[in-house]
A = this chain, B = another copy of it.
């Protein structure tokens, strides 16, 4: 029985997020493996960095596989990155996995998540009858992968991303038992400290996973020479500075004395 945390990196931009995520999981002493799915566009130097931080680096190349569902998907190139996430179900060397977006940060041990069934996820604050697909428990299975791929072709994604696809596939989630519902503490949107401040003040110290939802990620923030973060633009949807600083603290603990693991200047927004 082998279990793993899994993330996804389709370009160098998200690699920095994945590296910090992996370090954050080590920092909280997870006993599980850590895996990353990558695609062709990830550069060789970045792959080397990922190999240092992850137990498993798995190249997924949807366009060259030979199963029927994938062939059909060739006709839907716009589903792109969305579909890459479903390749996580192909990691059948693991009996259970927890998917974590590359823009998440683990701040307390969350190994208890492996006690949950597929699909277990937290509500999306935009529309809480949907789950947020940045953190979810799943069971790798070639059969489920095929069904997900077929679903992508037949139904598509109502939001153009993986969240729309996964929510219509796992459509039993909104009325499923509490074991399928993760506390918001496992997927707290870093904007959220603003939306209902008293709840953040009461429960914020219990947060286990911070999720930096939106185009503007922690690695896009500038820092002073002393390492304090500041937002580079006023217009950016602002995560709480407190949480962004937490992300950089993990970065500094593991990468401060080495060169940046990927060139920050080269990172595109969005």
Contact = CB atoms under 8 A, between A and B. Distances in A.
A126 to B, nearest CB: 3
Interface residues of A, number: 31
29 contacts: A122-B128, A124-B196, A125-B126, A125-B128, A125-B195, A126-B192, A126-B196, A126-B199, A127-B184, A127-B192, A127-B195, A127-B196, A128-B128, A129-B183, A129-B185, A129-B199, A129-B203, A130-B196, A130-B199, A158-B198, A158-B199, A158-B201, A158-B202, A159-B196, A175-B178, A175-B181, A177-B177, A177-B178, A178-B178
A218 interface: no
A129 B188 CA distance: 11
A173 to B, nearest CB: 10
A164 B129 CA distance: 22
A264 interface: no
Interface in A107-126: 122-126
A84 B200 CA distance: 25
Interface of A: 122-130, 158-160, 164, 174-178, 181, 183-185, 192, 195-196, 198-203
A130 B203 CA distance: 10
A259 B203 CA distance: 48
